[in-house]
Structure 1
Amino acid sequence: MAAADNDDGMLETRLVQVRGQVQGIGYREACVRRAWAVGVTGWVRNRMDGSVEVMLQGSPEQLASMCAWLSEGMSAALVDELAVTELQPPFARFDRFERLPTL
């Protein structure tokens, strides 16, 4: 627990909108697996407009790695646009990465 407390100064949160052909191909499941591997927390969900929305929380390096994967890490996905919004503190602290229902 102390290690996590030491990382709070480097903790960043980003909301990412992924547009393109990203639904119906296992993108969210692959995203969850990648997030676990990278060590970020947050969530991923499909949106009714056909995009995928991802909330990421971690170090700047973890978030850069995750955003790179979101853009081109899954060969079946055709990502047209990656819109990244950095959220300013204070923000909720996530304790895991999970898949949420479609919004």
Structure 2
Amino acid sequence: MRARHLLIAGRVQGVGYRDWMAREAGRLGLSGWVRNRADGQVEAVISGPEPAVEALLTLARRGPRLARVDAVEERFFEGEVELGFVRR
């Protein structure tokens, strides 16, 4: 398992993106966190089995119904990730 750090750009704040991602991550059994950034992006760290991580990455590129995702920047995350998924 390897963790991923994501920066999601577009219309992703004020549209339920964080709640949606937390639900999807929980459904997939992933750990990590998601939060809004002052620059209008959403930032997340996700960790878990590779197929589940890939599934959430695919979903993150679409987002919830009211979101518009313009870009997802992805890189490996080397820090510790606590069990469970939280919205910050």
Whether the TM-score (by the shorter chain) exceeds 0.5 is yes
Deviation digits for residues 19-68 of structure 1, max 9, x if unmatched? Answer: 00000011101111101001100000000000000100011111100111
Distance 2:15 2:74 in 1: 22
Matched, 1:29 2:19: yes
User: Which residue is equivalent to 1:57?
Assistant: 47
| Aligned-residue identity in percent | 32
Question: Alignment length, in residue pairs?
Answer: 88
Gaps of 5+ in 2: none
Extract structure 1 runs of 4+ deviating beyond 4 A: none
Helix, strand or coil for the counterpart of 1:65?
helix
More helix by share: 1
The two structures, once aligned, show a CA RMSD in angstroms of 1.0
Tell me, yes or no, if the aligned pair for 1:71 and 1:82 is still in contact at 8 Å. yes
Deviations along 1:68-89, one digit per CA (max 9) or x if unpaired, are 111114121100000001124x
CA deviation after TM superposition for structure 1 residue 93, in Å: 3.4
- The structure whose Rg is larger is 1
Task: Extract unaligned runs of 5+ from structure 1.
Answer: 1-10
- In structure 2, what is the equivalent of residue 20 of structure 1? 10
User: 2:85 matched to 1:92?
Assistant: no
Q: TM-score, normalised by structure 2?
A: 0.94
Report SS of the residue matched to 1:72. coil
Q: Give TM-score scaled by structure 1 length.
A: 0.81
Note the C-alpha offset of 1:96. Answer: 0.7
